Structure 1
Amino acid sequence: MRALQWLNLTRHGESTGNLAWREAERAGAEDAGIPERDADVPLSDLGRAQAETLGRRLAALPPDERPTMVVSSPYLRALDTARIALGQTSWAAPAAPDGLRLRVDERLRDREQGVLQGLTARGVRRRFPAEAERAARLGKFYHRPPGGESWADLALRLRSFYRDLAADAPGGRVLVVAHDAIVVVTRYLVEELTEQEIMQIEKEPIGNCSLTRWQGDGGGALRPVCYNDSTHLTAPGGG
Structure 2
Amino acid sequence: MWFDRTMADNRGRADTSELAELVVVRHGQSAANVAFAAAEAAGRSWAGLKGPDSEVPLTDLGRQQAIALGHWLGALPADRFPEVAFCSPYLRARHTFELAAAAAERDNPRARVRRSLVDHRLRDRVMGELQMLTSRQIAERFPVEAERRRTTDEYVYRPPGGESFGDVAERLADWLADTRREHGGRRVLVVAHDAIVLMLRRLVEGLSWNDVRTVATGGLVANTSVTRWTTVDGVLTLAEYNATGHLPSAEGR
| Structure 1 contact 92–99 (Cα < 8 Å) conserved | no
Paired positions, count: 235
Give the drift of 1:32. Answer: 2.1
Q: Does the residue aligned with 2:230 lie in a helix, a strand or coil? A: strand
Amino acid in structure 1 at the alignment position of 2:133 = L
Give the drift of 1:129. Answer: 2.5
* Partner in structure 2 of residue 38 of structure 1: 53
**What pairs with 1:143-182 in structure 2 (closer than 5 Å)?**
143-182=157-196
Q: Indicate whether 1:230 and 2:225 are aligned.
A: no
Stretches of structure 1 that go unaligned for 5 or more consecutive residues are none
Q: Indicate whether 1:68 and 2:96 are aligned.
A: no
| Structure 2 contact 83–113 (Cα < 8 Å) conserved | no
Q: Does the residue aligned with 1:205 lie in a helix, a strand or coil? A: coil
Deviation by residue 1:200-234 (Cα, 9 ceiling, x = unmatched): 32242111111000001132x11111111111114
Q: Does the residue aligned with 1:65 lie in a helix, a strand or coil? A: coil
Stretches of structure 2 that go unaligned for 5 or more consecutive residues are 1-15
Amino acid in structure 2 at the alignment position of 1:36 = G
**What pairs with 1:60-99 in structure 2 (closer than 5 Å)?**
60-90=75-105, 99=113
**18, 22, 25: which one pairs with 1:7?**
22
Give the drift of 1:17. Answer: 1.5
Amino acid in structure 1 at the alignment position of 2:162 = G
* Partner in structure 2 of residue 57 of structure 1: 72
* Partner in structure 2 of residue 187 of structure 1: 201
* Partner in structure 1 of residue 156 of structure 2: 142
Amino acid in structure 1 at the alignment position of 2:195 = A
In 1, the alpha carbon distance for the partners of 2:214 and 2:137 equals: 24
**10, 14, 19: which one pairs with 2:34?**
19
Amino acid in structure 2 at the alignment position of 1:76 = L
Give the drift of 1:97. Answer: 8.7
Give the drift of 1:98. Answer: 5.1
Q: Does the residue aligned with 1:207 lie in a helix, a strand or coil? A: coil
Amino acid in structure 2 at the alignment position of 1:202 = A
* Partner in structure 1 of residue 122 of structure 2: 108
Q: Indicate whether 1:122 and 2:166 are aligned.
A: no
Give the drift of 1:96. Answer: 5.4
| Structure 2 contact 93–192 (Cα < 8 Å) conserved | yes
Segments of 4+ in structure 1 off by > 4 A? Answer: 95-99
Deviation by residue 1:29-86 (Cα, 9 ceiling, x = unmatched): 2332321211111111111110000111111222111100010001111011011111
Cα root mean square deviation, aligned = 2.3
Q: Does the residue aligned with 2:185 lie in a helix, a strand or coil? A: coil
TM-score (norm 2): 0.86
In 2, the alpha carbon distance for the partners of 1:38 and 1:202 equals: 22
TM-score (norm 1): 0.90
